[in-house]
Amino acid sequence: MPTLRPLDPAFPIERQLAVDATPVVLVNVFTLEQADEQTFLAAWQDDAVFMKRQPGFISTQLHRAIGESPTYLNYAVWESIEAFRHAFTHPEFRAKLSAYPASAVASPHLFQTITVPGICVASRREEDKHHEDQSEHHG
């Protein structure tokens, strides 16, 4: 089972699961010992197969850091925190965590897209919500 080390200790994944937000991106950074790399990849693949079957799952991608140290970054797009919470707390998923090597440390955190004018745009739902919030503050 991987050790969970919050990316933001003041707001760990357990607290994030209580927020209502749509859509969301899970970013999870994993560190582990090099000898455990193949075990980690097999466990992650098995988890990904489970997650892909869950309602609200959109996509996922795993990245390996440049260099010799086996550091991985996974991001997964979900329709909502509610959908992610259902999958993350599902007994079948929780049971799969024991397949991860003991050296694995996971730092999961949920994010939302934002708009930066002229650079990138948030999802349509987030844009609509942002405009509604602005109207409430200015109206």
Domains in the chain: boundaries: 3-113
Output the pLDDT for position 1. 79
Could you tell me where the DSSP H helices lie in the chain?
13-16, 37-52, 81-88, 91-96, 124-138
Convert the pLDDT of each residue in 2-12 to its tens digit: 999 999 999 99
Output the pLDDT for position 29. 98
Overall average pLDDT of the 50-58 stretch: 97
- Topology of domain 3-113, per CATH? Alpha-Beta Plaits (3.30.70)
pLDDT band at residue 132, thresholds of 50, 70 and 90? Answer: low
What is the value of pTM for the model shown? 0.84
Overall average pLDDT of the 72-79 stretch: 97
Query: What pairs with residue 83 in β-bridges?
Result: none
Which residue from 17, 1, 9 is spatially nearest to 107, judged by alpha carbons? 9
| Cα distances (Å, whole numbers) of residue 11 to 79, 108, 114 | 21, 11, 19
Output the pLDDT for position 53. 97
Which of helix, strand or coil describes residue 132? helix
Overall average pLDDT of the 128-138 stretch: 50
Output the pLDDT for position 125. 56
Output the pLDDT for position 122. 86
